[in-house]
């Protein structure tokens, strides 16, 4: 429905890259903007917020244009009902926490329905901090104030620009629940910019992956992430897949994990009860392909799989083969020559030989 979506089609040239994005973002739930630094995600956010005027294109929020190059429409940032939470909170140093919140509250549209001051303060647990000055707050506390402040403006769209990236791991852990509260209690359509897979997969419903100023993928979070070999808990740019399985038994210091029809043996230094659900992370470079089940080989784990996709990788010599293992996805990295020699093609039944895997419960 065009009424409840944010339609973006913009182009702008920067020194480092050209921004070219054409996407329609539904105005409900959390949409992640994911990509490495320099990919244009912050610029896209700036364009939506009104801090950047693209060279051409349009941005339509629901049924009204915030920016339309051909019709010369440009809505000033303070007139757009979008709230931005910046990476480093950006609290006003000359005001207390209460002062910062009041600043937003005073300028919000009184007629518009929204959450009350008290509810927002309580949701972000700010009562003990109200009379403090921003300079005395920790990174996490500042972000909570920033979020509360933005909520007080009763925005129709929330933009979170890498809200956790300035925090250390402990603080991140503290703040994540608040972000989840934000999502569940306030239910504002949100654009969440991040380069961290963990955050994204935990919070976002859908994602847009950006690279070099372009959106190269969009869709449901898990799907989009795994298509690009990205998985929570791993270096996102190392191609890793996650398989779900159940612990069957322990034998000789090895765990037997049932994955679909097959059994995967892993070294384990924790003892787990059989029946526990676990997730196995398997790097593509640890997976080889055989047409027949080989004998006399040290690799213990061989799983039946079907080839679904031959994806060429950036390096000419190698290719990432997408395999279907009883409904789950696994990637194998093989040479182009091997693909040719083995005659690999979508639909082919093969064996995935897994050299190593790690698991998390």
Binding site for other proteins (CB under 8 A): 49-51, 76-78, 82-84, 86, 90, 92-96, 103-104, 107-108, 133, 135, 149-150, 153
Q: How far is the CB of 99 from other proteins (least distance, A)?
A: 8
Nearer to other proteins, 81 or 313 (CB): 81
Any residues with CB less than 8 A from the CB of 122 and at least 6 apart, and which? Answer: none
Give the nearer residue to other proteins in terms of CB position, either 53 or 107. 107
Query: Nearest approach, Cβ of 45 to other proteins (angstroms)?
Result: 11
Sign of the CA dihedral running 52, 56, 59, 65: positive
Instruction: Find the shortest distance in angstroms from Cβ 56 to other proteins.
Output: 20
Q: Is the separation of the CB atoms in 265 and 300 below 8 Å?
A: yes
Sheet strand arrangement including 206-211: 73-74, 64-68, 56-61, 5-13, 18-26, 214-220, 206-211, 30-34, 190-194, 157-161, 82-85
Nearer to other proteins, 84 or 194 (CB): 84
CA distance 346 to 229: 18
Instruction: Identify which of residues 96 and 242 has a Cβ nearer to other proteins in the complex.
Output: 96
Q: What is the DSSP string of 126-157?
A: -GGGTTS-GGGS-HHHHHHHHHHHHHTT--SE
| CA angle, residues 86, 89, 94, in degrees to nearest 5 | 130
Q: Is 199 helix (H, G, I), strand (E, B) or coil?
A: helix
Give residues with Cβ within 8 angstroms of 111, minimum separation 6.
Answer: none
Specify the pairing of strand 18-26 against strand 5-13.
antiparallel
Closest CB to other proteins among 106 and 315? 106
Nearer to other proteins, 86 or 192 (CB): 86
198 neighbors 173 (Cβ within 8 angstroms): no
At its nearest, how many Å lie between other proteins and the CB of residue 268? 49
* Nearest to other proteins of 83, 236 (CB atom): 83
- Residue 131 beta carbon to other proteins: minimum distance, rounded to whole angstroms: 12
Instruction: Enumerate residues 6+ apart whose C-beta is below 8 A from 324.
Output: 305, 306, 307, 308, 330
Tell me the closest approach of the beta carbon of residue 33 to other proteins, in angstroms. Answer: 17
Q: How far is the CB of 67 from other proteins (least distance, A)?
A: 15
């Amino acid at each position: 429905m065009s009424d409840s979506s944010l339609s973006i089609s913009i182009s702008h040239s920067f020194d480092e890259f050209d921004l070219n994005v054409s996407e329609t973002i539904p105005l409900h739930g959390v949409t992640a903007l994911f990509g490495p630094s320099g990919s244009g995600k912050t610029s896209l956010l700036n364009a939506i917020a009104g801090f950047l005027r693209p060279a051409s294109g349009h941005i339509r929020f629901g049924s009204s244009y915030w920016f339309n190059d051909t019709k010369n429409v440009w809505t000033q940032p303070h007139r757009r009902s979008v709230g931005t939470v910046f990476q480093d909170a950006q609290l006003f140093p000359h005001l207390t926490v209460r002062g910062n919140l009041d600043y937003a509250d005073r300028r919000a549209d009184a007629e518009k329905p929204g959450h009350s001051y008290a509810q927002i303060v309580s949701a972000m647990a700010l009562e003990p901090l109200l009379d403090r000055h921003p300079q005395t707050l920790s990174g996490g506390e500042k972000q909570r104030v920033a979020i509360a402040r933005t909520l007080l403006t009763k925005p129709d769209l929330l933009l979170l620009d890498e809200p956790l990236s300035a925090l250390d791991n402990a603080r991140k852990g503290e703040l994540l629940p608040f972000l989840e509260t934000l999502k569940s209690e306030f239910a504002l359509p949100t654009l969440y910019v991040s380069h961290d897979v963990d955050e994204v997969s935990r919070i976002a419903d859908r994602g847009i992956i950006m690279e070099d100023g372009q959106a190269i993928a969009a869709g449901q979070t898990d799907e989009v992430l795994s298509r690009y070999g990205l998985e929570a808990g791993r270096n996102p740019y190392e191609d890793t897949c996650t398989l779900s399985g159940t612990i069957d038994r322990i034998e000789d210091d090895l765990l037997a994990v049932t994955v679909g029809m097959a059994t995967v043996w892993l070294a384990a230094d924790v003892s787990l009860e059989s029946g526990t659900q676990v997730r196995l992370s398997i790097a593509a470079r640890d997976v080889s392909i055989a047409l027949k089940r080989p004998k006399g080989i040290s690799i213990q784990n061989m799983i039946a799989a079907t080839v679904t996709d031959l994806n060429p990788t950036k390096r000419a010599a190698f290719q990432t083969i997408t395999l279907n293992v009883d409904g789950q996805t696994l990637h194998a990295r093989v040479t182009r020559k091997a693909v040719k020699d083995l005659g690999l093609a979508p639909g082919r039944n093969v064996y995935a030989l897994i050299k190593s895997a790690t698991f998390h419960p």
